[in-house]
Chain A
Amino acid sequence: MSKHTFTSKTFLSIVLLLIYIPIISLVVFSFNDSKSLIQFTGFSLEWYVKLFESGTIMDAVFTTILVAIISTIASTLIGTLGAISLTKNKKWLREWILNFNNIPIVNPEIVTAISFFVLFGAFQIERGLMTMIIAHIAFSVPYVVITVYPKVRQMDADLISASSDLGATPLQTLWHVILPQIRIGIIAGAAIAFTMSFDDFVISYFASSGSAVKNISIYLYTLKRGIEPTINALSALIILVIGMKITFDYFKTQKNLMEEEE
Chain B
Amino acid sequence: MSGNVGGSNEDKPNLVPVLDMVFQLITFFMLVINFQMNSIDKSMDLPVVGSARPVKSGKSFMMINLNDKGQFTVFSRPLPEEQIPGWIAREAQVNRLAIRKSNPNFADTDDLPTVVIVRADKNTPFSTLAKIIKICQENGFRDFAFHARQPDA
Are A and B a genuine interacting pair, yes or no?
A: no
B→A interface (CB under 8 Å) = none
A residues with CB within 8 A of B: none
